[in-house]
Structure 1
């Protein structure tokens, strides 16, 4: 489905500013809509979107969503969120046809969405700590601290490289699980 470009947003070819991106992403319903649209590249309609968002928001399956729950989400999307996202160039929303299609601008919002669970630390902080430990290890070997001289220097280097390789592989795995647009509910609901 190909939708015409909205006349409201002449800046669709420009990158979103960080302020615009955070404004759009500041609302949980818009984040959930973005997650759904990222996994439905061919677009969707407002009925399907409102039903799925109602299911996620109420912790229910699609079959359990009541008409009232779906209608509340539908009205909110139709009157507020979809027009706002269309105006920002995040998606194309044709009100008369109720069709919704994500734009390249909308896909670019992915970079702002590092989901960090309550008890987790950001990976950047984890790697900083791992670098600190590695530096301390290298310093201990360099200065000949007795317990660190039991193994050859090359072994310590291999240990450090192995630590970074394993943590990088785990990081890639978890990043894929928390990526917007993957199967299932949005990462913040997992």
Structure 2
């Protein structure tokens, strides 16, 4: 006996959100010189977005930078805020080892990768971080994805 064919249902909000992500990658500003929008390549390709957003620590960096006053913040402050998110506690309850683990990972792995992709501006000498030129683009995709996933819960 074969299973009955599934009937089409209303598209879920997750499906709609994923369609928005697809549209994000397809949308191009029309050129002022009469070229079609297909002439310009997207700033991000999907695999780059997922590579950048896969580590939860990078997602936490995005959240912290989105919610701080404009301007650079110290890596130590960023590490403390990210650690508080990871350990689900106020920054005052963090141990020094918890802060140190996050600080080292940010300096050695995550901030250089985000800086390479121009998501953040990272001054390794002064240990300062700020939103980079592509921050808002990645933040938009991240918001679409998180909104879709949290709606289901």
- Once the 2 structures are TM-superposed, how far is the Cα of residue 18 of structure 1 from its aligned partner? 2.2
In the alignment, is residue 39 of structure 1 matched against residue 62 of structure 2? Answer: no
* Structure 1 runs of 4+ with >3 Å offset: none
Q: How does 1:35-184 map to 2 (within 5 A)?
A: 35-40=63-68, 41-113=70-142, 114-115=145-146, 116-117=149-150, 120=152
Deviation, 1:62, is 1.1
Which residue number in structure 1 is paired with residue 48 of structure 2?
20
Shift of 1:63: 0.6
Q: Distance in 2 between matches of 1:15 and 1:27?
A: 21
The TM-score, its normalising length taken from structure 2, stands at 0.65
Give the TM-score normalised by the residue count of structure 1. 0.53
Unaligned residue ranges in structure 2 (runs of 5+): 1-41
**RMSD, aligned α-carbons:** 1.7
State the shift of 1:107 in Å. 1.4
Unaligned runs of 5+ in 1: 1-13, 122-190
How many residues are paired up?
107
Superimposed CA distance per residue, residues 67-117 of structure 1 (whole angstroms, 9 cap, x where no aligned partner): 110000000000000001111111111100001011230111122222223
